[in-house]
Amino acid sequence: MRNQTMRCRRVADSLRKEISSMLLLQEVRDPRISFVTIIDVAVSPDMRIAEVYYTVHGSDDEKRETLAGLQSSAGFIRRELGKRLHLKRIPELNFRYDESIDRGFYIDKLLAGLDD
């Protein structure tokens, strides 16, 4: 879903901003969700599915709990998006953990070990 039309990209950006705002302002009141950063959103060409890429700092257990919290809050988030965005259809939200930051830290650690 990375190749997107301009309309899909605009919708994806709006979704990212609104979901980030909801999480930042703690409108989603699931205790399993804390310190989540929405990295990107990719919308399918038919705008039925949105892949929401996020990252969270913590252990693997905390990452699993955060995913469970986000998945259980997806209905609430979609309802709120429907109120805020004037779209014919709000896409189904699929949350995906973005491992790129973890990989970056790992590479930094490897490179730091080479300097010693």
Domain locations in the chain? 6-115
**For residue 32, is pLDDT > 80?**
yes
pLDDT of 75: 96
CB-CB neighbours of 19 under 10 Å? 24
Tell me the C-alpha distance between 33 and 10, whole Å. Answer: 26
Question: Where does 6-115 sit in CATH, by number?
Answer: 3.30.300.20
Model confidence band, residue 51 (pLDDT cutoffs 50, 70, 90): very high
Q: In 3D, which of 30, 52, 23, 26 has the Cα closest to residue 39?
A: 52
Mean pLDDT for the stretch of residues 32-41:
93
**For residue 1, is pLDDT > 60?**
no
Q: In 3D, which of 52, 61, 58 has the Cα closest to residue 23?
A: 52
DSSP codes of every residue in 3-63: S--HHHHHHHHHHHHHHHHHHHTT-S--TT--SEEEEEEEE-TTSSEEEEEEEE-S-HHHH
| Better-scored residue on pLDDT, 20 or 116 | 20
